[in-house]
Amino acid sequence: MIALRFLRTIHGWIGVLVIPWVLLFGLTGFYLNHEQDLAFLFGSDEVDMLWREDQPGRLSDEAAARAWFAQAFPDLPVEKVTDEDYHGKPAFQIATGTLLVIAPKNSSFYFDKTSHVRQLHDARGAVIDHHVYWPSILKELHTHGWLRSPLGTTLADLFSLLLIGFGLTGACLWTIPRLMRSKARRTGGRMSRG
């Protein structure tokens, strides 16, 4: 039957297109269900051993933190400054539109963070540690399909439509032959009785 061949072809091609997404959601979903058990995959964060409080009283107040930030990041506007401990040590957390900078009060070291990456810098600004927040990335991939971008939303929407098509063509491929066999049995039964 031509309709079934067409459905098989469509179903097969949709399957090829959605396989990467199915694998992505399968793997990230498995991780989210077993986050604690799989924590060993991403190693430990040993940032506490990499930086030290080498300049007591360096940033004594918010004004000093803002002045340091203006010198270190001249092109970034400050949205908010909070006086908040980081890894148990006193620090100023300076938020910009895209970046969070953590300036410990008693250290020449500083951190910059996004939702997916944290870097530790020495006094000259050289990166001495780079930490990727894989759990955060996996959660975002699972919930948004991509790392929060218009392209990601478009791809997730396209994937959703393809999955609907995959489900509908699969249901048709399963149902139509069974209905045809059932009809043939009923028709064949009537003919043999006549």
Q: pLDDT tens-digit profile of 52-87? A: 788 888 899 999 999 999 999 998 999 999 999 988
- Alpha-carbon Rg for the chain, nearest whole angstrom, is 29
- What's the pTM? 0.63
Higher pLDDT, 8 or 39: 8
Structure-block tokens of residue 107: 């250290």
Q: What is the mean pLDDT of residues 96-124?
A: 90
Compute the distance between CA of residue 187 and CA of residue 109 in angstroms, rounded to an integer: 84
